[in-house]
Chains A and B, each alone.
Chain A
Amino acid sequence: MSANLSAIFYLVSGILFILALRGLSSPETSRQGNFFGILGMVIAITVTFLSVGTFSSGLIYVLIFLLVGGLIGAFIAYKIPMTAMPELVAGFHSLVGLSAVFVAISAFLNPEAFNLGSPGAIKLASLIEMSIGAAVGAITFSGSIIAFLKLQGIMSGSPITFRGQHFLNALLLISIIALTYLLCSYQSSNFFWILIVVSFLIGFLLIIPIGGADMPVVISMLNSYSGWAAAGIGFTLENSALIITGALVGSSGAILSYIMCKGMNRSFFNVILGGFGATEQSASTGNKEQRPVKSGNAEDAAFLMKNASSVIIVPGYGMAVAQAQHALREMVDTLKKNDIKVTYAIHPVAGRMPGHMNVLLAEANVPYDEVFELEEINNDFANADVAFVIGANDVTNPAAKTDPQSPIYGMPVLDVEKCKSVLFVKRSLSPGYAGIDNELFYKENTLMLFADAKKMTEDITKNL
């Protein structure tokens, strides 16, 4: 296949990828969008095989490795529980990063195969593009591994900080630029290896100071990086499908990071430069006196809800941990049978990744037109009888509106306190990830339900 023809096909697959994202603008068109994405990928891969032309005996290995990877991927996709989606996405990001590094190294060792010149005399522009692709890929890889370990619970979710951290990071970033310059001037492979090692280190150092609750930002950010890495490689390979895709993914991740930061009323740099818990915790949890709370059992909760005419459910990360989404839907079904209006309110940063709660509710067969975003539903709390908060905490804290001293001041929150009564399913009175007390626990009309979210929901259903 001629180079021009294959370039046109790569363009077609790039356009199909755009349509794949476009499809996600509504659930109805989303499956069609995913199909476009698959089609685009099939075209890109087929064209690549055809354009290489002469088939060496390497072909058989290429196919074997393709098949093995595909089978592993398919297996994971079918086995993974929906609650583990953040870990899965983090893991997948790391793979994109690592393959970008591999392709960049491969191109560096064998530039003739990629039309980039000969070893030791690689074109200047290609060297720069390669360095960017490899560096960003390596950062994506090690950063995603850390994010994965934190989400999986293998590594503590609390921020790890040390003296001179930012200084070290800045130094390493500058050294990347210096190494790229040296690589371009001397074409020595040693600089390339050091560059990759330093990039791995940066990814690692960049993510360890970020706490568990900031994971939505981190995952989105790594999503963005994986895109830029792909784009970098796309420039090296002069491949428009890769360039288009890289740009799409890069901007997509960047927008998601922005939305997540806004959901927490924090600047991007504030999130990157250090954890919530580490810096601000001590100030606000200082004097914690024992204050009376009203706590109840499943029977009380069932009684309250039975006498309500509308109930709003506020799910949070705790629901995911307890895998309570199915039990919750059963409870809601029972409520609906009693002619009680039930809706769901989702805060943008509820859970560990963008849209985490929506997926879990969808898994439990909750129709998506009963699920609302913060801005859509916030005014309804005043007219609702019961707010059922399950596994959420900080996103309901009225201190964000009233207390300028609070670390979460200014963060958009769900106006749960405006409901006639509030039910809080929680394991204990412990503060949320921001490390601050929730004023709501002590309110007159709040009933605390201390239990595992899943068990409590099941018990309430029995009592309805």
Chain B
Amino acid sequence: MEIDPFIFRLSIFILSIFIGYYVVWSVTPSLHTPLMSVTNAISSVIIVGAIIAGLAGSTDNVFTTSNILGFLAISLAAINIFGGFLVTQRMLQMYKKKKKNK
């Protein structure tokens, strides 16, 4: 009997939870805020679905409800992607070590 592809996706999912568990526990507590902003940014990879939704359908009508929702979702996810990564970058830039010679 063939295995349903869903099972493979489920395996990826479960294994990723374990990876996430161990990786996140090793994050230093002082970087918990950047952790939140960067997870925010990467979870916006949902834009992949939004792009598919935006590009779907026939050429003559690009303004079906489905397309429009896709466009909106693209904007929302893009705010998050750019905002999330840039604000993380801004924060991480501020974390400095003590200067040796003062």
Chain A residues with a Cβ under 8 A of chain B: 10, 13-14, 17-18, 20-22, 24-27, 30-31, 33-34, 37-38, 40-41, 44-45, 48-49, 52, 55-59, 61-62, 65-74, 76-78, 80, 82, 85, 88-89, 92-93, 95-96, 98-100, 102-103, 105-107, 109-110, 112-114, 125, 219-220, 223, 226-227, 229-231, 233-253, 255-256, 259, 346, 348, 353-356, 358-359, 362-363, 365, 367-371, 373
Contacts and interface: CB of A to CB of B under 8 A. Distances in A.
A77 B88 CA distance: 9
Given A25-B27, A34-B85, A69-B82, 18 more contacts: A18-B23, A20-B38, A24-B35, A33-B38, A48-B47, A61-B67, A77-B83, A85-B91, A103-B50, A113-B55, A238-B9, A243-B13, A247-B19, A248-B39, A353-B33, A362-B96, A371-B30, A373-B29
Contacts of B56: 58, 106, 110, 112-114
A353 B95 CA distance: 18
Interface in B1-44: 5-6, 9, 12-14, 16-17, 19-21, 23-44
Given A244-B12, A253-B39, A52 B84 contact: no
Given A92-B84, A110-B57, A249-B43, A69 B77 contact: yes
Nearest to A125: B6
Contacts of A99: 44, 46-47, 50, 72-74, 76-77, 80
Chain A contact residues, majority secondary structure: helix
B12 A52 contact: no
B80 A58 contact: no
Nearest to B53: A106
A373 B30 CA distance: 8
A358 B31 contact: yes
A274 B81 CA distance: 33
Contacts of A244: 12-13, 16
A243 B69 CA distance: 21
B92 to A, nearest CB: 5
Nearest to B83: A73
A251 B62 contact: no
B52 A48 contact: yes
Contact of A37 (B49, B55, B78, B85): B85
Interface in B52-69: 52-59, 62, 64-67, 69
